[in-house]
Amino acid sequence: MGRFKPGDDAHPAIGEVGKFEAVPEERIEVTCGRDILADVVVAIKKVHPYEEATIDVYPLEEI
């Protein structure tokens, strides 16, 4: 469950400015090469419904 409160300058797809909202969320994991990472992040932001998507990037290392 994700919680957020749209700020005064926000244009929320869900909820109202200034009011806390709780919505179900999904986690999506993607493995990609470093050479296309920037393009992948741009693509995620382009289709994500939130004004600010949470994107975590972790480098993978062989052990």
In a domain, 56, yes or no: no
Residue 27 lies in a domain: yes
The pLDDT value given to residue 60: 92
Backbone angles phi, psi at 45, to 5 degrees: -65, -35
Kindly report, residue by residue over 15-52, the tens digit of the pLDDT.
Answer: 899 999 998 988 999 999 999 999 999 999 999 877 78
* Geometric angle at alpha carbon 14, from 5 and 50, rounded to 5°: 75
Burial 30-45 (b: 16+ CB within 10 A, else e): eeeeeeeeeeeeeeee
Please report whether residue 23 resides in a domain.
yes
- Give residues with Cβ within 8 angstroms of 60, minimum separation 6: 31
In a domain, 13, yes or no: yes
Range of the domain at 25: 2-47
The number of domains in the chain is: 1
Return the pLDDT at 34: 95
Query: Given this model, what pLDDT does residue 52 score?
Result: 82
Question: Would 14 be classed as within a structural domain?
Answer: yes
Tell me whether residue 36 is in a domain: yes
